[in-house]
Structure 1
Amino acid sequence: MDKLRESWGVSYPFEQSPGEVWDRSGNKSFLQVYDIETGKTTLLKEFDKVIEAPNWSADGKFLTYNSEGRIYKYELEGGSITEVPSYFVDNCNNDHVLASDGSGLYVSHHTKEDGLSRIYKVYFDGREPELVTPLAPSYLHGITTDGKTLAYCAERNGEYDIYTIPAAGGNETRLTSALGLNDGPEYDCDGEYIWFNSVRTGRMQAWRMKADGSEQTQMTDDPHWNTWFPHISPDRKKVVMIAYHESDVRPGDHVPNKDVEIRLMTGSDASGWSKPRTLLKLFGGQGTINVNSWAPDSQRFAFVSYALE
């Protein structure tokens, strides 16, 4: 079949050149909120540039997002935008979480010495950023409710696995060892489980494990979809995730400028978990919903869609 495709000039969408896929200079961004109960989508703001990965504050008053290497606050009442002071931490990617005490954010920043991602804490009050992970690359995704522990994806010795580290810095602990990409680790609000995504079965799917790395359990089994970044709601009864069709990406790819779906699982350990159902179909991917963006009421979540000019 590969010989025939070559002779006929047929290619899969995921065989686009990396430059074509990642050129986002013409992207418009749409910061939006979806309401689970009403099924209504609300547009908060349109941007003539790429913004990514909204977080929702614990007090429900603002969202944070990254754009052009910096972090910004969007006030839900009034829509004002302010830049979070981060000084030399000026090349942040879309892997960031809010500090549990409301003092700032933990961010993933590509440092100047080697261009690799390391985790820093930046503060709303303008204090100097603090380094958490000297080792790189490290991509942050989760924080315990008490703010004491971070969970992140890191490449060490050629393997991408899930690690935890004290938020104040210290020694990291490796939780996964399955071959292939293990990514997107996120604590539930009780700190009992970490949800994540893994390609270990051949297709990217949602998984869950105990906070110590035990009981690693596959939670989705979509035969034609690659599922990324399961985000658990504060009430622990809902999980939203983003899905790429198998024909659009390789299992380990999480790229921008693709038609994707945002899906929802509901349930509990007592009642069991539903199969994912589609909430939204949109043009997005990288940056749409990389980190937890649930509102405190577990009814709404924020996301970003895109359009090409």
Structure 2
Amino acid sequence: MIRTLQPGQRCEVWIASATGASELAFATEELLLEAPNWTLDGGALILNGHGALWRLDLSGGLEKVAITGIPDLNNDHILAPDGSTIYLSANDGHIYRADLDGGEADRLTADDGWFHFLHGVSPDGQTLAYVGIEAGDFTQPGRLITMPAAGGPSALVDTGPGHCDGPEYSPDGEWLYFNTEAFTDRPGHAQLARVRTSGGKPEHLLESDTVDWFPHLSPDGRLASYIRFPGGTEGHPADLPVDVVVVSTSDWARPLHTWPLFGGQGTLNVNSWSPDSERFAYVAYPVSTSIGTP
């Protein structure tokens, strides 16, 4: 399903840092943009909107990326370490690869009966991590799965019981970070975790009363951002009060700064850190007649 703005709603793309500073980079009442990635040169953000991919030049305007041979996109997309290739999830449940400059996309996943939601690429560019939903049955928990970036056989990673989502590699390639319901009996109570890429028992990173999703590490590994939903939230829905949080990876329990906003789905689904690890991007969706600073 393609998301659109509600009457009176605005899409705001923000850039923030661990110092607590934030600035509005772009706003529109015409297009619902989601899930920013930062380009390797630091000059632009890549987002999805209305089933397509968009490039937001931070010194200019917004331009659609002309990718062909792919169905409507969802908000799961990541750049390869080479900075010129992008991996994409589409609404047909498959993962694709394309040139960031545009052109024909290649499908990577097989017709294996699963839906594939991309989230991570290994630092050496050789492996993808995604969430698999068997038979597209969303009453079933998502599973963490890896596959060769060029396509090929997949491998299940044991993250314990319950739904998991957002698997993403650490900068050193030693860990996969994700959110999971494995540590609780409360429906939907996602918590942050990690598991070694070599296997082993998942580690609980932060025990909280909130519903915590999508941990994203900065390229230097020192900081992490994530989105915090109110306790009792099931899934990661749109259009509710949430917090974007930044922590030191040495102390997940003590936020360095928090940005409250109206958003959720689309706000921080993919890694949005700048290449220099100084800033990150997120999206808010306030319903008002004027832009307000979160």
Question: What TM-score do the two structures reach when normalised by structure 1?
Answer: 0.84
Q: Specify the alignment match of 1:244 in structure 2.
A: 229
**1:232 equivalent in alignment to 2:214:** no
**1:154 equivalent in alignment to 2:140:** no
1:288-307 matches, cutoff 5 A:
288-307=267-286
Alignment-mate amino acid for residue 103 of structure 2: R
- Supply the distance in 1 between the matched residues of 2:36 and 2:100 (Cα, whole angstroms): 16
SS in 2 for 1:53: strand
Structure 1 spans left out of the alignment, 5+ residues: 1-21, 112-116
**1:201 equivalent in alignment to 2:183:** yes
Q: Any conservation in 2 of the 1:176–1:182 contact (CA below 8 Å)?
A: no
Q: Specify the alignment match of 1:285 in structure 2.
A: 264
1:260 counterpart (228, 242, 257):
242
- Supply the distance in 2 between the matched residues of 1:177 and 1:235 (Cα, whole angstroms): 25
Q: Specify the alignment match of 2:107 in structure 1.
A: 131
1:36 counterpart (13, 18, 21):
18
Pick closer, same or farther for the CA change 1:125–1:237 going to 2, 3 Å: closer
Q: Specify the alignment match of 2:94 in structure 1.
A: 118
Q: Specify the alignment match of 1:100 in structure 2.
A: 81
- Supply the distance in 2 between the matched residues of 1:291 and 1:124 (Cα, whole angstroms): 16
Alignment-mate amino acid for residue 216 of structure 2: H
Q: Specify the alignment match of 1:45 in structure 2.
A: 26
- Supply the distance in 2 between the matched residues of 1:226 and 1:163 (Cα, whole angstroms): 22
Shift of 1:81: 2.1
**1:141 equivalent in alignment to 2:119:** yes
SS in 2 for 1:94: strand
Question: What TM-score do the two structures reach when normalised by structure 2?
Answer: 0.88
- Write the deviation string for residues 214-270 of structure 1: whole angstroms up to 9, x where unpaired: 2410001002x00000011111111111011114x22xx1000000011122143xx
152-161 vs 166-175, greater mean Cα deviation = 152-161
Shift of 1:100: 1.7
CA RMSD of aligned residues (A): 1.9
Higher helix share: 1
Shift of 1:176: 2.3
Shift of 1:156: 2.6
Number of aligned positions between the proteins? 275
Alignment-mate amino acid for residue 188 of structure 1: S
Higher-Rg member (1/2): 1
- Supply the distance in 2 between the matched residues of 1:213 and 1:24 (Cα, whole angstroms): 42
- Supply the distance in 1 between the matched residues of 2:148 and 2:21 (Cα, whole angstroms): 39
- Write the deviation string for residues 52-81 of structure 1: whole angstroms up to 9, x where unpaired: 0000112212110000000011112x2222
Q: Any conservation in 2 of the 1:195–1:207 contact (CA below 8 Å)?
A: yes
1:275 counterpart (237, 254, 271):
254
